[in-house]
Structure 1
Amino acid sequence: MNITTSITPRMRLLRAALLIAAVAGLLLGMWAGLVRLGWPWPPLAPVLPMLHGPLMACGFLGTLIGVERAVGTGKHWAYLGPALVAFGVLLALLGMPGNAGPLLVTLGSAIVTLVLVGLARLHPANYTVTMAVGGGAWVIGNLLWWLGWPLYVVALWWIGFLVLTIAGERLELSRMLKLTPTVQRVFMAAALLLCGGIGLGLVNYAAGTLGVGVALIGIAVWLGAYDIARRRLKAGGQARFMAAALLSGYVWLGIGGALFLWHPGQMAGPYYDAALHSIFLGFVFAMILAHAPIVFPAVLGIPMVYSNRFYAPLVLLHLSLLLRVTGDLAGWWPGRLWGGLLNAIVLLAFLVITVTSLRPRAASR
């Protein structure tokens, strides 16, 4: 199928601008994270270190998912969602008074969620409902951020957003395996437990993290057992790469859940860092690496040539994260510090490989 035929130059420009905004959020978020880790670099903006989480969860991941959903729905108004999210993050960076940035991010996430709810109404199914609930978790998390709740509480809602969105997409693809109703009910039970855990975190944070931890382990085990990725490992080329990336991400999701169980109620510090980045880096970014050869060409309307180069950032991501988490858990500061820096370098390498794999000349023919 030719993915470029139905995309006008103006629409391609809009999508490219939003992707650039998402990448800018990633770059600034990585810089903020390294400053927070202890690297003696200028923060670029006074509020930058405190916006590490919002930049990554909303500025990068939220904008990226919003663009992907807008492309999927085919509605021009849907692009307003990721645009508001990106602009809201910019206002937060500028330190605009009145929490204008978080408010715009909240409004943008609500528009993205409306797209997901519309999909669930058109195609009622477990996977569409799961993704819509994930969008709702993002809206609530952003609303809490706007209202001034602690970011460690907000982060649970952002975890719910990303995990439910990704797991819902994988559940959709598992339809071809014709899973039994019992297997699907197990998935939904784990998803409901995740929702219950993040909700409980509003009144009892420690108990909430326990529930989230159990739910993440359950979802990770379910995905490892029933996702179609396990059956695609025997395939070659891009299919095998995607399967390896997905399955490795599920391992990190389970590790993140286990760390929440091991040290529940952590609000900061090395154990919190290990748990959070096992999920956001090990799981979420493994999913991004897995889907990059499909998502970026579909969004930009530009063909991409897959090559085994994509394995390099995948393997190095896991090795550098292992170094960071080991440093966190063992109290080994250099391991944590250098692991974080290597995380950022690996993500930069992934961006370079992705961009250099695009073939814009082929799209213009």
Structure 2
Amino acid sequence: MSAARQAARRKPRRIPARTLLMLPAAVSLLAGLNAALVLLGLPAPINATAWSQIHGMVLALGFVGTLIALERAVALGTRLGYLSPLLLGAGSILLLMGLPQFAGKLGLLAGMAVLVWVYLPLWRRQRDHAVLIQLLGAALGTGAALLWLGGVGMSLLLPWLVAFLVLTIVGERIELARITMGPLAGMRALQLSWLLAFAVVASLLDAQWGIVAFGVALAILTIWMGAHDVARRTIGATGATRFMAACMLAGYAWLLVAAITWCFGFPSSRAAYDTVIHAVFLGFTLSMIIAHSSTILPAILRRPLPYRRMMWAPAALLWAGLLLRLWIGNGLGIDWAWQAGGAANIIALLLFLLLAVASVLMGEPKPELRQPPGMGKPLPYANPSVQPPRTGLTISIPETKK
């Protein structure tokens, strides 16, 4: 290979233009965090109290929805697919600008409808249960946007938004871990997804008993996924594999907390409502985003997002903040713990964003040759660029006493 071709391979690929579609998602995230500070009664950079009324939809559809739609558009590979993240991002920005909410709500609805369309050619391409699960989730997310446009309150829309996020992530997990889950995993997950979808509709028809059915269906799906996900076995690995497994298992645990809370009825109190919202959107959704960030974001950015050990810090801070907010703040009714936990969650998310950007800019870390303890020293090689064959065995020279 010529020197010019080697230099071309070493040159980093240009960031594609589709990355610009992530800017509205980033704005939605920052605005949602600003609104969270206002709701917590803490000082916020922008004193926009109106954002507090819409920050749930801005975060669920404007932030997470845009990222999901962008990733699916990349998988589809056609320009028309990018209309979904464009509309979702534009709808969220219109809501934040203080214009008549009808325009922003209509943008979110149109973006979700296009996302449903995106899954149709993906289904024809793969004919996979995982795609059907994600399609069902997108349809429920579209229903949430439509009901919000019609004036339905957020408390009744919550199961629809939760089902959209949960089924999208469940479909992704089935798609990525189909071999380890077994040949029937897709069918079983699809059946449980339909059960959850029926419970979502029931929660709108009967808020009291329907929400109990939703909690039971969500708990069953969560327990099944946690028991069959490969993360249960890879938690014993090291490095990035262990980090991803820990984030996924933590996500399932927090989702189960929300499901159990719903099993006791409609969350009418502030503590119960705060618990289900943040156990799902922070504990489950953000833990799963952090876990899959090294695979999803490189597909969009065309740049690797290497794992680094410092990524444990924001993940641990996120979970610690949730424990402080939900268990002590909401469970015991201690306001300072509720505020401190919420502030810790915001810091954790911002810290992870900073570390992710830094990791992309720093590039791949240099590989380290690690030797298991008690195995002696590896044999030296004349050419340091030539590595020993990977036979699964470690050749060592026993040390002798002089």
Per the normalisation by structure 1, the TM-score is 0.91
Partner of 1:272: 273
Q: CA deviation at 1:324?
A: 0.6
Return the structure number with greater helix share.
1
Choose which of 135, 160, 163 in structure 2 pairs with 1:160: 163
Cα separation, 2, equivalents of 1:168 and 1:236:
26
Q: CA deviation at 1:98?
A: 6.1
* Number of residue pairs matched by the alignment: 354
Assess, with a 3 A threshold, how the Cα gap between structure 1 residues 121 and 208 changes in structure 2: closer, same or farther. Answer: farther
Cα separation, 2, equivalents of 1:24 and 1:347:
14
Q: CA deviation at 1:334?
A: 1.0
Give 2:345's aligned amino acid: N
What does the per-residue CA deviation read over 1:64-120, in whole Å, with 9 as the maximum and x for residues that have no partner? 111111111111111111111111111112232360100011101111121112212
Structure 2 unmatched ranges of 5 or more: 1-8, 365-402
Partner of 1:187: 189
> Which of 1 and 2 has greater Rg?
2
Cα separation, 2, equivalents of 1:208 and 1:174:
32
Give 1:111's aligned amino acid: V
What does the per-residue CA deviation read over 1:157-204, in whole Å, with 9 as the maximum and x for residues that have no partner? 1101000000011112232125253x5554333212211111112211
Contact 1:303 1:359 in 2 (8 A): no
Please tell me whether residue 196 in structure 1 is matched to residue 198 in structure 2: yes
Partner of 2:68: 65
What does the per-residue CA deviation read over 1:108-148, in whole Å, with 9 as the maximum and x for residues that have no partner? 11111211122123222221110000010111101111111
Please tell me whether residue 291 in structure 1 is matched to residue 315 in structure 2: no
SS for the counterpart of 1:201 is helix
Which of 13-22 and 47-56 deviates more?
Answer: 13-22
Contact 1:297 1:358 in 2 (8 A): no
Cα separation, 2, equivalents of 1:247 and 1:274:
19
Choose which of 185, 209, 212 in structure 1 pairs with 2:211: 209
Cα separation, 1, equivalents of 2:46 and 2:52:
7
What does the per-residue CA deviation read over 1:228-257, in whole Å, with 9 as the maximum and x for residues that have no partner? 222222332111111111111111111110
Please tell me whether residue 24 in structure 1 is matched to residue 18 in structure 2: no
What does the per-residue CA deviation read over 1:254-290, in whole Å, with 9 as the maximum and x for residues that have no partner? 111011113x112451111011111111000000110
Contact 1:153 1:205 in 2 (8 A): yes
Contact 1:305 1:359 in 2 (8 A): no
Per the normalisation by structure 2, the TM-score is 0.83
What does the per-residue CA deviation read over 1:340-359, in whole Å, with 9 as the maximum and x for residues that have no partner? 11110110000000000003
Cα separation, 1, equivalents of 2:126 and 2:244:
26
SS for the counterpart of 1:96 is coil
Please tell me whether residue 146 in structure 1 is matched to residue 184 in structure 2: no
Give 1:342's aligned amino acid: A
The share of aligned pairs that are identical, in percent, is 36
Give 1:307's aligned amino acid: R
Choose which of 31, 36, 53 in structure 2 pairs with 1:33: 36
Contact 1:194 1:216 in 2 (8 A): yes
Contact 1:22 1:64 in 2 (8 A): yes
Which of 63-72 and 295-304 deviates more?
Answer: 295-304
Choose which of 234, 254, 257 in structure 2 pairs with 1:255: 257
Partner of 1:112: 115
Cα separation, 2, equivalents of 1:190 and 1:251:
18
SS for the counterpart of 2:205 is coil
Contact 1:241 1:311 in 2 (8 A): yes
Assess, with a 3 A threshold, how the Cα gap between structure 1 residues 145 and 177 changes in structure 2: closer, same or farther. Answer: same
Give 1:21's aligned amino acid: P
Structure 1 unmatched ranges of 5 or more: none
SS for the counterpart of 2:177 is helix
Partner of 2:79: 76
Cα separation, 2, equivalents of 1:180 and 1:66:
27
Cα separation, 2, equivalents of 1:141 and 1:280:
16
Assess, with a 3 A threshold, how the Cα gap between structure 1 residues 180 and 77 changes in structure 2: closer, same or farther. Answer: closer
Cα separation, 2, equivalents of 1:356 and 1:8:
17
Contact 1:174 1:226 in 2 (8 A): no
Contact 2:13 2:303 in 1 (8 A): no
Cα separation, 2, equivalents of 1:35 and 1:223:
35
Contact 1:238 1:306 in 2 (8 A): yes
